[in-house]
Structure 1
Amino acid sequence: MNKETLDLMINSLPFLLEGVQITVMLSVIAIFASLILGLIIVLMRISDFKILSGVARFYVSFFRGTPLLTQLLVIYFGLTWLYTFSGWQAAILGLTLHFSAYISESYRASILSISKGQWEAGYSLGMNTAQVLRSIILPQAWRRSIPPVWNSLIDIVKASSLASVLAVEELTARAEQIAASNLVVFWIFLEILFMYWALTTILSIIQTYLERKLKT
């Protein structure tokens, strides 16, 4: 690395940090939306209503079985007949739809890991299925689901870089602009790799804290 490249990396920091803010905003919105939609999907999946269960199965199969990048492109370019999504809207919708499928499966595995005796104990107390699920099963399943769900949350942060193809001015898109205008590719992208690493490390620290707090 020469002095000119080092100066470029230093001078680019404010511009890149603005991209970090956009990446964080995009990721946070997608994370909360995915957690909520994932819960809805798993409740449909374990439902006794075959139609709801079948829709949930198809949803999980489709969004886990197709590439996220292709999904984003279909939403942004292919659904203009239905609604013209902005880059932000398409990125959030695509990330949410994709990762809620994975999160719902993490929820489902955690729910299935709860012994049948827990359900039977709730029924013996006069609870109905919804009450048992809400008061007994979900609190335990939530604790057990933290490790796999958190992996998906970290993946959301990393996958937010794909929003660059939708003209969203997030971290990767800004790095591409700098690299293209200055013909410095390796060092600029190495710089943002460490920024993504910092973001995912923060999430990992939060995960460790929650696991210790909840003794998972």
Structure 2
Amino acid sequence: MGSVLFMPNARIHLYQDDLPAGLDLGPVVAVDTETMGLNPHRDRLCLVQLSAGNGSAHLVQLRPEGLGGPARRQGFLDCPNLAALLADAAVVKLFHFARFDIAILRKELGVEVAPVLCTKVAAKLVRTFTDRHGLRELCRELLGVEISKQQQTSDWGSPALSQEQLAYAASDVLHLHALWAKLEALLRREGRLGLAEECFRFLPARAALDLLGYVEPDIFSH
């Protein structure tokens, strides 16, 4: 079962515990996650947001098993439709800061999310004149769109998410397709698209290293 929330210029579909069967979000799907915190070993996955880039967002709320949420099979959440989409080699998954999202999805759903694109990595490769690579700054400077980060630190484990939380979560995926189009053009202009693609291919391995504890010191440090 799902519900629909309308917000200015967007439609938000909310589901519990998995995507509906047969949902087609096209060849490139924007993806983001909300968790209880930023430690993938400690903090559980609460919400997965997806968008086909058409002005609609599809949000999957993952409740704890004790509150009717998905059971775990071999340690992973049983969300077959969501897991199949994320692991589908024919669908490109578009993130902002893919490294964290890939890691938490791997830990909680047991899937290797690939192939992927990451707007934060792309921004760092071509916007070397600034250190402002956050989603809010990129949307403002490249798209002329203002997004709010007011709900960023709210309780995503709440059984009933507020309309403000849902709108915030949706905004994190609704603009990624347009943002990637701008950044891809810059990567081509600067001759760094090939380098970006190599970085994107490495991201699942980088996330796996994070889960093994190779964060500080980084495995590539001296």
Whether the TM-score (by the shorter chain) exceeds 0.5 is no
Which entry has the higher C-alpha Rg, 1 or 2?
Answer: 1
Bin the TM-score by the shorter chain: under 0.3
TM-score (normalizing by structure 1): 0.26
Q: Which structure ranks higher in relative contact order (CA pairs < 8 Å, sequence separation ≥ 6)?
A: 1
Higher strand share: 2
